[in-house]
Structures are given as structure tokens and as C-alpha cells.
Amino acid sequence: MRKLVLCMHTSLDNFVAGPGGAMDWIHVDEEIFKYTGKLTEAADTALYGRVTYQMMEGYWPTAGDQPNASDHDKDHSRWYNHVKKVVLSHTLQSQDPNLQIVSDNLAAQIRQLKQESGKNILIFGSASASHALMEAQLIDEFWLFVNPVILGTGIPLFKDTTGKVPLDLLSVVPFASGVVGLHYQKRA
């Protein structure tokens, strides 16, 4: 069975965005990009909420074609353009055959997607979508990149959880920037 893998930057105090959705506190660099390349290599499906999907769609399709594109931009753009995309939305409409829109029966549709053959399903960001997936207990792995900042307020990663979810810690990676990568898997 395919795994649903969440990849998210957080503050030390559990926020994925600051007031007004601010993300200017998130630290990314080549070291982190290289490390997260393992996630994209192991995934052939990207899952987003509508807002994050529209943000990604506005950048990644042509990011690798820009004259000043980094190796990461080239690699991620190539990956983004070839993976199946799943968007959780009640309002988005599309005729794109490579885009699946999930607007109802979230748990059933995602469970069916996980049963299909293929690599992992990767969700980058998308706080609201992540909350819905956590509430339905559909996330199998958490890759959290804890940034060395306390925001005090914003959009929390974990809120209104539906109960205890035991996890096993698979790895801890400290980066030169002070960001710490934590990789957890839901206990079977």
C-alpha cells in the first residue's frame, strides 16, 4: 500500500504559518533541498489544498526553465510536471486529466488512492488539507522541519486532533541553519 507522507515546516511552537499566513520565517537552503529530494524521489503523487495548489501551479511548471534556475528548481519543476496531482477543494474545477479533485468523501477517496499501485503520495504544506487528513487519520509519515523560531500565534500544525496517534521516530537530522528535520511514522 502507498503511504501518505506529510512534509511541513513548523516553528518550534507548532505553527506552519504566522499571523496572516506569513511564511517569511521558514528557512530553506540547498542542504534542506537536497535532503528533501529523497521525498520527491519516493513519490509519484502530490496532494495539496486548493490555495497551496494554486500557489504551486503559478510557479513550478516553468521554474526549471528560468535562466537563473537552481538545480533544486530544475529538479522540483521536472518532478512537479510529471506527478499526478490531487487537490482537496470544494470550489476548484478543472478538465486536466492529471488532476484529481477531492471535494467529498475525503477518507474513502484517499484510502482508495492509497490502494492504487505506485509510489508515495506527498503533501507539502497545505495546513487546512493536512488538518482534514489528520482528522481522518490518513497520514502515515510526518517529515517535520522545525525552524528555530517561536511565532506565538498563527496557523498551528496540530489542532483539534481526534485523539492519540502513536508515532515512531525514524530519524533526526540537524541542519547547519538550525532547522531540525524529524521523521516520524505512524505506529501500526
Q: Identify the residue whose cell numbers are 496540530.
A: 158
Question: Rounded to two decimals, what is the model's pTM?
Answer: 0.90
φ, ψ dihedrals at 86, nearest 5°: -120, 130
- 96 has a pLDDT exceeding 90: no
- 186 has a pLDDT exceeding 90: yes
- Number of neighbouring beta carbons within 10 Å of residue 154: 20
- 13 has a pLDDT exceeding 90: yes
Q: Which residues pair with 171 in a beta bridge?
A: 183
pLDDT one-digit tens code per residue, 47-92: 999 988 998 988 888 988 999 998 889 999 999 999 999 999 998 8
Q: Which amino acid is located at 145 in the chain? A: F
Distances (CA, A) of 6 to 63, 129, 140, 148, 181: 23, 10, 8, 20, 13
Q: Which amino acid is located at 122 in the chain? A: L
- 160 has a pLDDT exceeding 80: no
Tell me the pLDDT band of 165, cut-offs 50, 70 and 90: confident
- 12 has a pLDDT exceeding 80: yes
Q: Identify the residue whose cell numbers are 477518507.
A: 107
Distances (CA, A) of 130 to 25, 87, 126, 159, 164: 20, 12, 6, 10, 16
- 184 has a pLDDT exceeding 90: yes
Residue 128, classed as helix, strand or coil, is helix
pLDDT one-digit tens code per residue, 99-113: 899 988 999 999 999
Q: Which class is domain 4-52+86-186?
A: alpha beta
pLDDT at 27: 93
Q: In 3D, which of 151, 160, 100, 163 has the Cα closest to residue 130?
A: 160
